[in-house]
Structure 1
Amino acid sequence: MPGNYSIYVLAAYLIDLAVGDPRWLPHPVVLIGKTIEKLECLTRRFAKSPFSLQAAGVLTAALIAGGSWLTTFLLVSWCFKLNFWAGSFLSVWLISTTIAAKGLAGAAGEIFALLKAGDLPAARAKVGMIVGRDTGEMDMGSVTRATVETVAENIVDGIVSPVFYAFIGGAPLAMAYRAVNTLDSMLGYKNERYINFGMASARLDDLANYIPARITGILLVTAAFLLRMNPQRALAAILRDAPAHPSPNSGIPESAVAGALGIRLGGLNYYGGRASFRPYMGEDRFSLEPAHIVHTVKLMYLASGLAVTAGTIISALVIYFTSLLI
């Protein structure tokens, strides 16, 4: 299997931009999700105490993340032994399934279109499909905020992190990251059911996104400059507001987007009818409007393009200087 993955990452990113994740194609995340469900069901039969639930959670996270890496590695290696192009095609396709730029932009675009058409009930229903909070009573500003926050947060989870790991370890490492992220999305809740069992998954996701989130902050400040938004306020918001976010990583892209657009994110949300206040990100220089969804998607696309471009250049430089030392 090749040691330089930059061409595969670039091709995978372009494929995602072109076609996204067609529903008629099998998606690895679906298989990962079903495996998580079965493993959780199995381990919970034997784990009842808080400590045993934490141990079962550690085992589940290790098996899912490690198994995803190993399965992908063996499958890709087998294809390369059959034919170089078969291995290359499989690597590109698998990496593309870990990137969600087109899907994220598409979901945000649909919500924007519904808001512009004045169909608030449909916009509430649509945003409810991509966020975990209650959406039934949201006004236009709340729907806009939820959409902007989700797009901003997923610049890390859905694009920069999988790209980062794909550059380092190809399809196997990118798929292992996607498994970690899926574990967190399914198990990483601080409620009665998952406070112990999901602890390992949540911590592993925090660790996996730590470096990519900070890279994303730099990328978003750069994108704000190139798009003639406000990079100074984006940087100031990261430094001032991101540490207050309950997530060690999500506050960085959210505060960067808020600063770049001159809007305020965070505030009061409801989950299952229960109020939850998130620290504010940015300043409300402008009232939230549907157009801010479009601006956020532009930031997302440019930041992701910068990530792939920078990774490709760095990979080329590493190859060049390594060749000089040999």
Structure 2
Amino acid sequence: MEALVTFVVALLWDFLLGEPPALVHPTVWFGRLIGLFDGIYRRRSSILDFLAGTSASLFVITFAFALSKLPELLPEWLGFALGVYLLKSSFAIKSLAQHVENTVRDNIEEQRKYVGWIVSRDVSKLDRAHLNSAAIESLAENITDSIVAPLFYYLLFGLSGALVYRAVNTLDAMIGYRDERHEYFGKFAARLDDLLNFIPARITVLLFLPLSPRKVLEYWGKAKFKINADKPIAAMSAVLGVWLKKEGVYHFEGREPTLEDIRRALRIYWIVVGEWIAVVLLLLLTGVCPCLNP
């Protein structure tokens, strides 16, 4: 029952306390580590850049794996407490909702500021509808990245699975870009993140199915722009009935999104997340998940 109790306590931590301080947050550590490598490595050639980026990524992943094993070396009570802390650091439910809630602003400049905190695109020239779309897209995509995927790998591989996934996802967020600096340096991290998110992204879509089965399936069929990220965005667009688009990347049809649609998206978010929590609890309770039998 240890895996179940660890998850329940970590879940309560998330709802009651939110995110740990940045200074002691493992995800922040992963980001700073790869940022250090990214900053000191002088680009040379595509092959050397790829090898350097792969080596740096593997170092961070190894650090995450080693960190996940630390609770096993400690006294039982202390190991349990650290395990809860580390598992909590791998997923973010309450804080994701709060970040998106902050984007619901009547003042467009305030909204632009808060949307800019949760998306990587340039928001300086986005109009109201595109700002609303960006906030909803971020919410939908992060259901996979911040909740479904880390807990999926926790079910499969225990704490190591959750932390290694979080390290890979952080690597992708930091260096997984197609710009001149990261095209080859971040390629390994980006491709590994694509691989690890392949199943979780589709699980996320399945969680939307009870809300509008026919339309979710229809929009899922149209989600052919990206390997994973557009799948939950398509599902959210289908359920909300609004267009969600990132210029030059993807476009799902519907009416123009409003501030109220961000609020509706958050209500849908809690339903979908509740479904996934129920699935995780059921699998842990019945003992059928591999992490219970290492």
Q: What secondary structure, in the 3-state scheme, does the structure 1 residue paired with 2:120 have?
A: coil
Q: Determine if the alignment matches structure 1 residue 70 to structure 2 residue 66.
A: yes
Q: Determine if the alignment matches structure 1 residue 54 to structure 2 residue 50.
A: yes
- Aligned twin of 2:249: 278
- Aligned twin of 1:308: 277
Question: C-alpha displacement at 1:17, in angstroms?
Answer: 2.1
From 184, 203, 206, give the equivalent of 1:215: 203
Question: C-alpha displacement at 1:172, in angstroms?
Answer: 2.3
Alignment of 1:43-192 (within 5 A): 44-45=41-42, 48-73=44-69, 75-79=70-74, 82=75, 84-112=76-104, 114=105, 118-192=106-180
Write the distance in 2 (CA, Å) between the matches of 1:194 and 1:5: 38
> How many residue pairs were aligned?
290
What amino acid is the match of 1:311? V
What amino acid is the match of 2:263? V
What amino acid is the match of 2:178? K
TM (normalized to structure 1)? 0.83
- Aligned twin of 1:234: 216
TM (normalized to structure 2)? 0.92
Write the distance in 2 (CA, Å) between the matches of 1:313 and 1:90: 24
Q: What secondary structure, in the 3-state scheme, does the structure 2 residue paired with 1:266 have?
A: strand
Write the distance in 1 (CA, Å) between the matches of 2:113 and 2:97: 17
Question: C-alpha displacement at 1:31, in angstroms?
Answer: 1.2
Question: C-alpha displacement at 1:190, in angstroms?
Answer: 0.1
Is the CA contact 2:22–2:28 (under 8 Å) kept in the aligned structure 1? no
- Aligned twin of 1:272: none
What amino acid is the match of 2:283? I
Write the distance in 2 (CA, Å) between the matches of 1:235 and 1:14: 33
1:143-193 Cα offsets, whole Å, 9 max, x none, are 100000000000000111111112222222211111101100010000100
Write the distance in 1 (CA, Å) between the matches of 2:100 and 2:279: 26
Q: What secondary structure, in the 3-state scheme, does the structure 2 residue paired with 1:132 have?
A: coil
- Aligned twin of 1:254: 233
Q: What is the aligned-residue RMSD (CA, Å)?
A: 2.0
Is the CA contact 2:134–2:246 (under 8 Å) kept in the aligned structure 1? no
Write the distance in 2 (CA, Å) between the matches of 1:266 and 1:300: 19
Is the CA contact 1:238–1:252 (under 8 Å) kept in the aligned structure 2? yes
Q: 1:201 to 1:302 in 2, by over 3 A?
A: same
Q: 1:63 to 1:108 in 2, by over 3 A?
A: same
Is the CA contact 2:144–2:197 (under 8 Å) kept in the aligned structure 1? yes
Gaps of 5+ in 2: none
Q: What secondary structure, in the 3-state scheme, does the structure 2 residue paired with 1:248 have?
A: coil
Is the CA contact 2:20–2:89 (under 8 Å) kept in the aligned structure 1? no
Q: 1:121 to 1:25 in 2, by over 3 A?
A: same
Q: What secondary structure, in the 3-state scheme, does the structure 1 residue paired with 2:234 have?
A: helix
- Aligned twin of 1:273: none
* Segment of structure 1 superposing worse, 53-62 or 140-149: 53-62
From 240, 250, 262, give the equivalent of 1:293: 262
What amino acid is the match of 1:191? D
Write the distance in 2 (CA, Å) between the matches of 1:155 and 1:125: 22
What amino acid is the match of 1:232? R
* Segment of structure 1 superposing worse, 119-128 or 170-179: 170-179
Question: C-alpha displacement at 1:88, in angstroms?
Answer: 1.6
Write the distance in 2 (CA, Å) between the matches of 1:35 and 1:89: 25
What amino acid is the match of 2:133? R
Question: C-alpha displacement at 1:94, in angstroms?
Answer: 1.1
1:177-235 Cα offsets, whole Å, 9 max, x none, are 1110110001000010010111001001001111111111101223x2xxxxx332122
Q: Which one has the largest radius of gyration? A: 1
